[in-house]
Structure 1
Amino acid sequence: MNFITRFSALCLRKSKMQQRYLSSRRPAVPLGSRILTDPAKIFEHNMWDHVQWSQEEEERAKNKAAENSLVKVRLEDQDKYEREASNYWNEFYKTHKNNFFKDRNWLFLEFPEILPEEKREQLKTEEKSSELIKSTSSFPHQDFHGMFEEGKEYWKSNYGEDSTSVLGQICNKNQAKSVTDNSQDENCREQLGKLESFPGSGAAYRVLEVGCGAGNSVFPILKVLCNTPGTFLYCCDFASGAVELVKSHSSYNSAWCFAFVHDVCDDALPYPFPDEILDVILLVFVLSAIHPDRMQRVVNRLAKLLKPGGMLLFRDYGRYDTSQLRFKKGHCLSENFYVRGDGTRVYFFTKALLYLNPSKKGDF
């Protein structure tokens, strides 16, 4: 059981499930439409959507979670898992490299907001004809590296060799020339310098994925964004091994993406770009790996990176997921928070925990 939802700027917007799987662009059984109507077919999929538990089933799950939570991990060990969290994830990626998770090709079905509006409309138009998709669609059939080359040529012809120095929203190309010629406009010149001083400064639409892992979201997103001029993708993880896997991937390209190591729990650690420049922040199975006491501060800090009207897209583990019920005694850190055998941690959410209090912006 997963929760898939959205924060809009500083406020969480309650998603409308019925509208999420009406797109023509979807697999045969997309998330959101796997409705179990025949109990005899329960094993046809590994998950079902909108399952309503009976009171008996819910009580059984609660009892099982209570049972596996009776024996808590020792406090000194809990401190160790907190202090060395990045080490455990580094070991995870050292062991599994990029073979553990599959690419998240469901992203645009569940989160079409990742894409700029014009790109969403373009894909929607392309998908109306299956023949058109097969012959001309840029996603997912077109050669990936070819899309990079096409995008680079666009930037080169329009903005010159260095795509990262393209001017952004505050001063466009013509404004930049006039600022250079006008020595009195120091304020705009200083602003211009700031725009050129960080990766992706020339983009008009920017996405950040927090907890990028080995790139299972990064590369499906890049398949689309790299052929969409004016867009840029940032991705970070606090496991340096994961970031190295992303950077060493044959499809990684610094003209469209910037991967960096970052601990979102460290409020004092600066991001490699200014606040209020992101259109979308994506967190997929990320908050669950953070201590519950720290989640609020993490969300508050991330919210400051969003433009007005920007969105934080969130998917994570739901309370009483089968993986929670399978934990043995001695793995519980605190209520609904567990440590796996490899030292990585996981928290299980409820919907009540996700929706913001309108009177307190940024609060869960």
Structure 2
Amino acid sequence: MEDEEESTQERPHRAPRTLTAEEISKIASDEPVSAFKQNKLEAEARKNWDLFYKRNETNFFKDRHWTKADLQQLCPDIDFQQRHVLFEAGCGVGNFLFPFLEEFPSWFAYACDFSARAIEFVRQRADFDEQRCSAFVCDLTSEGPSVPMESVDLCTLIFVLSSIHPEKMGGVLAALLGVLKPGASVIVRDYGLYDHAMLRFAKGRKLQEAFYARQDGTRAYFFSVDKLIETFAAAGFTALSCEYLERTTSNRKEGTSVPRTFIQGRFQKPFSSPNPS
């Protein structure tokens, strides 16, 4: 999970971090769990996230107030003070959504999650405003979102794609492609390859290469830059930027300091093809 305490400044780079010999050996020796267990986790994915929000309610993730600086740096061509439409796919309990709407009051947002409990928490927040946000339950791996086609100026996937089975990521991105305006973009922030969270998984948690199951049944994929670009390209997107964000996270209570590796990118829907002459 994205369990942050204090962090050093993020350092962007294009290459994954160098592993120690012990870390290389650990990854190489870890075998995937049985197909039966993998299928069970897939079938119970929605239930496991509902249970996660039942246990943690709105207390697990902090509101993400890095929104303004990061988005304006990633999207210098967008005037965030003008009225636009956001679609946050996989909004959780609104830790990105509400800081975004606070920073950019002229925007309207669609927000979905496949956990009904998460959407309930979004709608219960005191700052939820139906005039500015439509929040709904949707499993993007199997259904299209309740968003008008080609109506969205910007879509966000914030620690969402990693929780989806790799074989279903393409279908999710195809659904997003349909609601984006030509030339509009998806912003991704997620777990990067060889993040500390990946390396600390015990044996018996590996599902596939770079794909792991947590003890609570939720799952996490750890992206390389090449893999993320390849996944979006297969769905019809063009990569405008994609890089690792490396930082050190400290927990003062426990006296620990660990290397974190995230990934961030911007992927554009192609503009409409010109009409033939």
Shorter chain as denominator, the TM-score bin is 0.7 to 0.9
Give the Cα–Cα distance (whole angstroms) in 2 for the partners of residues 220 and 94 of structure 1: 23
CA 1:249–1:256 in structure 2 vs 1: closer, same or farther (change >3 Å)? same
Give the Cα–Cα distance (whole angstroms) in 2 for the partners of residues 296 and 60 of structure 1: 34
Give the Cα–Cα distance (whole angstroms) in 1 for the partners of residues 96 and 165 of structure 2: 23
CA 1:116–1:272 in structure 2 vs 1: closer, same or farther (change >3 Å)? farther
Is 1:234 the counterpart of 2:110? The answer is yes
Give the Cα–Cα distance (whole angstroms) in 2 for the partners of residues 309 and 53 of structure 1: 29
Q: Deviations over 1:177-221 (max 9, x none)?
A: xxxxxxxxxxxxxxxxxxxxxxxxxxx621010111111011101
Alignment of 1:207-286 (within 5 A): 207-225=86-104, 227-228=105-106, 231-266=107-142, 269-286=143-160
Q: Deviations over 1:106-130 (max 9, x none)?
A: 012211267994445x9xxxxxxxx
Is 1:75 the counterpart of 2:35? The answer is yes
Give the Cα–Cα distance (whole angstroms) in 2 for the partners of residues 315 and 302 of structure 1: 16
Question: Relative to structure 2, which stretch is displaced further, 348-357 or 76-85?
Answer: 348-357
Q: CA RMSD in A?
A: 2.8
Structure 1 or 2, whichever has the larger Rg, is 1
What residue is the counterpart of 2:11 in the other structure?
49
Paired amino acid for 2:67: L
Is 1:290 the counterpart of 2:164? The answer is yes
Alignment of 1:27-42 (within 5 A): none
What residue is the counterpart of 2:205 in the other structure?
331
What displacement does 1:53 show? 7.5
CA 1:328–1:85 in structure 2 vs 1: closer, same or farther (change >3 Å)? same
Is 1:361 the counterpart of 2:240? The answer is no
Query: Which structure has the highest strand share of the two?
Result: 2
What displacement does 1:76 show? 1.5
Q: Deviations over 1:156-185 (max 9, x none)?
A: xxxxxxxxxxxxxxxxxxxxxxxxxxxxxx
CA 1:93–1:324 in structure 2 vs 1: closer, same or farther (change >3 Å)? same
Give the Cα–Cα distance (whole angstroms) in 2 for the partners of residues 301 and 312 of structure 1: 12
What residue is the counterpart of 1:308 in the other structure?
182
CA contact (8 A) 2:206 2:213 kept: yes
Question: Relative to structure 2, which stretch is displaced further, 274-283 or 352-361?
Answer: 352-361
CA contact (8 A) 2:114 2:139 kept: yes
What residue is the counterpart of 2:257 in the other structure?
none
What residue is the counterpart of 2:220 in the other structure?
346
What residue is the counterpart of 2:252 in the other structure?
none
What residue is the counterpart of 1:138 in the other structure?
none
CA contact (8 A) 2:68 2:103 kept: no
CA contact (8 A) 1:61 1:320 kept: no
Query: Which structure has the highest helix share of the two?
Result: 1
CA 1:53–1:83 in structure 2 vs 1: closer, same or farther (change >3 Å)? closer
What displacement does 1:61 show? 3.4
Give the Cα–Cα distance (whole angstroms) in 2 for the partners of residues 63 and 254 of structure 1: 52
What displacement does 1:49 show? 1.9
Q: Deviations over 1:215-272 (max 9, x none)?
A: 10111011133x32xx310110000000000000110010000100000101xx2422
What displacement does 1:273 show? 2.5
CA contact (8 A) 1:300 1:362 kept: no
CA contact (8 A) 1:237 1:263 kept: yes
CA contact (8 A) 2:33 2:204 kept: yes
Paired amino acid for 1:242: A
What residue is the counterpart of 1:85 in the other structure?
45
What displacement does 1:64 show? 2.5
CA 1:319–1:58 in structure 2 vs 1: closer, same or farther (change >3 Å)? farther
Give the Cα–Cα distance (whole angstroms) in 2 for the partners of residues 341 and 359 of structure 1: 31
In the alignment, structure 1 segments of 5+ residues that lack a partner are 3-43, 123-203
* TM-score for the superposition, normalised by structure 2: 0.75
Give the Cα–Cα distance (whole angstroms) in 2 for the partners of residues 276 and 319 of structure 1: 32
